[in-house]
Amino acid sequence: MSHHLTEALMAVGILTVIWSGIYFVIKVITDYTLKKKMIDKGYVDEESQALFKKEQSISNNYASLKWGLITFCAGLALILLEFIPYEADDSPLPFGLIAIFVATGFLIYYFLVKNKTEQ
């Protein structure tokens, strides 16, 4: 792997970890704040508790499917890159191909979960 590609992948990895951390911290804080305000104002009843549990259950049930599809699609992109000739130092082809395949994995996941939750 070329030196530039290694540096770019390392930068993308570091930024991904940083932004994921920021996202999860903000999500936890906002969810806590929302639930606390609802409890303080007396909006919490059996129905609203069921909504919170349902949302959490749906996201937990399909987490493995999501990451399995994303990893599978990224792996397919890497395998495909092995057979496509390209200029390793200057080509954006690896980044584009991996981005397209990972996005495809997310879209497949979205439509599968959407169809399951509508049933």
CA atoms within 13 A on the CB side of 17: 5
Q: What ranges do the domains of the chain cover?
A: 1-44, 62-119
Model pTM above 0.75: no
Render pLDDT for 15-68 as a digit per residue (tens, 0 to 9): 989 999 999 899 989 988 887 887 777 777 767 666 666 666 556 677 888 889
- Per 3-state DSSP, the chain is made up of helix, strand and coil in percentages (nearest 5) of 85, 0, 15
Round to whole Å and give the CA distance between 9 and 1.
11
Render pLDDT for 92-110 as a digit per residue (tens, 0 to 9): 888 889 999 999 999 999 8
